[in-house]
Structure 1
Amino acid sequence: MIGVGSMGGAILAGLRGPGVRIEHPITVTTRSAASAAALAGDERVVALAAEDDPEANRRAVRGAGLVILAVKPWLIAEVTRGIADAVEPGAVVVSVAAGVPSTAIEAELPPGVAVVRAMPNTPSHIGRGVTGIAGGASASAEQVALVQRLFETVGAAIVVREDQINAVAAVSGSGPAYLFLYAEHMIAAAERLGFDAEQARLLVQQTVVGSAELWAAGGEDPAELRRRVTSPKGTTEQAVAVLQEADWGALFDRALAANIRRSEELERGE
């Protein structure tokens, strides 16, 4: 694993979780010696620091059947180019970078190395994430399934076409931000109703968390769950009517389209 930042750290935590069996130690590279030292003490992990060893990335990928690139999108080409002649034939290289198509990564690697893209989200940190998995032209169904199993250690994972990856990023990759934006506004509205900051936060947080768990526990359609709370001619019905006047369907269509448009711009290097 090259890079153990926010998302790389979540993936690593999933692989180190109870009940997850790995055949060989995971070699990870970090920028600093301090970050590498923080991973010491786990026999399942070998940590290398780039500041101590300029060859850390190349050393890490030698002999590896699965390589995860967990660096920022603008570093993907440089990092891939740096490890190209050290990657094992038949290895699977996984990128979690938004806006970098598999063709751009494949162009830096030797023939016979498969590329798979993955788009996880931040709830992966607590094992409740969801990840979209898409194989590049060089990836077999078995290799894509291997990557899917990897990301199932941090939540759910679905296989999609690569032309859907930007849409995955728009829906679930960025999705937590939309929910937190809703929470921000609900907390502010609660404070305007006279609750203090802590009361408002608790009311909204527990409502969001409890509602999500209720949905997950039963699996019912959210529209049905909403109807159960919305009694005819009741108070909830009045509030929902006001919200629906804002045409949430069209609003979300515009928001997701803007997200996808930006991903496409990143792919073009804009």
Structure 2
Amino acid sequence: MSAQNDLTTESAAALPRTTMIGTGSMGGAILQGLRDPGVAIERPIVVTTKSAASAAKFDGADDIDARSAEADPEANRRAVRGAGVVILAVKPWMMRDVVREIAAALEPGTILVSVAAGVPSAAIEEALGDAAGVAVVRAMPNTPSFIGRGVTGIAPGSSAGDAELELVRRLFETVGDVLIVREDQINDIAAVSGSGPAYLFLYAEEMQAAAERLGFTAEQAKTLVQGTISGAAELMVRSDDDPAQLRRNVTSPKGTTERAVEVLQGADLGELFDRALRANVQRSEELEAE
């Protein structure tokens, strides 16, 4: 994790006891980032899992208090008692049931953070029922949070004020960059950065396959493609030039790169990305309607 995303003990004092329900791909990435020794957060972080086997993976970790619903049907309710922040990292179709399950155990002042796509904050607030003083914030992180290089969009629900939003911003800054957006932009955040790593991994997958078809071994193709992607990404981060200029820097007039770029641009990548992002947003909207 970069030094700029580290929280000092003083600035992290606002991060209270945190509970995470669900430790799948996204939840696990956030959790890994929060466990970084440079992050000052009240420990242990409490997590709940569905299976005892998943909870057992944290055996011996002094910074994690893991519990499973399989071993204790009251695990989720016990885990959220006394928590200042509860991160809901369960599947979208499980969200309302989990919120109803824990609502009575949440204390006034708790911030409920949902990282599920397609579940509006209004639906979560409705599922809370009579739970008083609980603020809802939606967050859309991505898996590079696992290494402290995530990008997270956060949006307040109607129950969240500036103080709650600021605390959630500080929490997710421990695992990368944070953008505060309107809730009607969360689906767009999901389409661009939430799912974005998958698009890049697909590019790497296809490039490695193409390199192998040129005659390189699988290991050689992996070295060529992954090294090129990681190096180019780091160059982009460190450079003051925008991606278009960086591309032009590599593309000599009438050269080999120009010829390849012409083929790619001939496929109308702009329109292809527009269609891909629209499909992603549409799926989020379908989930909201279910």
Regarding TM over 0.5, the answer is yes
1:115 and 2:119 aligned: no
The aligned amino acid for 1:105 is I
Quote the offset at 1:264 in angstroms: 0.4
* CA deviation profile, 1:71-108 (whole Å, cap 9, x unmatched): 11111011100001110112100011111110000001
Aligned-partner SS, 1:21:
coil
Instruction: Quote the residue 1:70 is aligned against.
Output: 89
| Aligned mates of 1:40, 1:132 — CA distance in 2 | 32
Quote the offset at 1:45 in angstroms: 2.3
* CA deviation profile, 1:16-66 (whole Å, cap 9, x unmatched): 112111235322111222322322333332222211111111111111111
User: 1:133-212, aligned counterparts within 5 Å?
Assistant: 133-212=154-233
| Aligned mates of 2:186, 2:166 — CA distance in 1 | 16
Instruction: Quote the residue 1:261 is aligned against.
Output: 282
Closer, same or farther: CA 43–197 of 1 in aligned 2, 3 Å = closer
* CA deviation profile, 1:187-216 (whole Å, cap 9, x unmatched): 222222222222222211111111001111
User: 1:1-270, aligned counterparts within 5 Å?
Assistant: 1-109=20-128, 110-269=131-290
Aligned-partner SS, 2:132:
coil
| Aligned mates of 2:32, 2:240 — CA distance in 1 | 27
The more displaced of 28-37 and 127-136 is 28-37
> What is the aligned-residue RMSD (CA, Å)?
1.4
Quote the offset at 1:134 in angstroms: 0.8
Greater RCO (CA < 8 Å, at least 6 residues apart)? 2
The more displaced of 92-101 and 237-246 is 237-246
| Aligned mates of 2:145, 2:240 — CA distance in 1 | 20
The aligned amino acid for 1:83 is I
CA contact (8 A) 2:31 2:146 kept: no
| Aligned mates of 1:21, 1:189 — CA distance in 2 | 45
Closer, same or farther: CA 42–185 of 1 in aligned 2, 3 Å = closer
Closer, same or farther: CA 197–43 of 1 in aligned 2, 3 Å = closer
The aligned amino acid for 1:36 is A
Structure 2 unaligned regions, length at least 5: 1-19
Quote the offset at 1:258 in angstroms: 1.0
| Aligned mates of 1:151, 1:4 — CA distance in 2 | 16
The more displaced of 206-215 and 16-25 is 16-25
The aligned amino acid for 2:147 is I
| Aligned mates of 2:103, 2:254 — CA distance in 1 | 65
The aligned amino acid for 2:32 is A
Length, aligned pairs only: 269
| Aligned mates of 1:213, 1:99 — CA distance in 2 | 32
| Aligned mates of 1:246, 1:75 — CA distance in 2 | 40
Quote the offset at 1:262 in angstroms: 0.9
Structure 1 unaligned regions, length at least 5: none
| Aligned mates of 1:120, 1:87 — CA distance in 2 | 24
| Aligned mates of 1:193, 1:99 — CA distance in 2 | 42
Quote the offset at 1:70 in angstroms: 0.9
Closer, same or farther: CA 194–101 of 1 in aligned 2, 3 Å = same
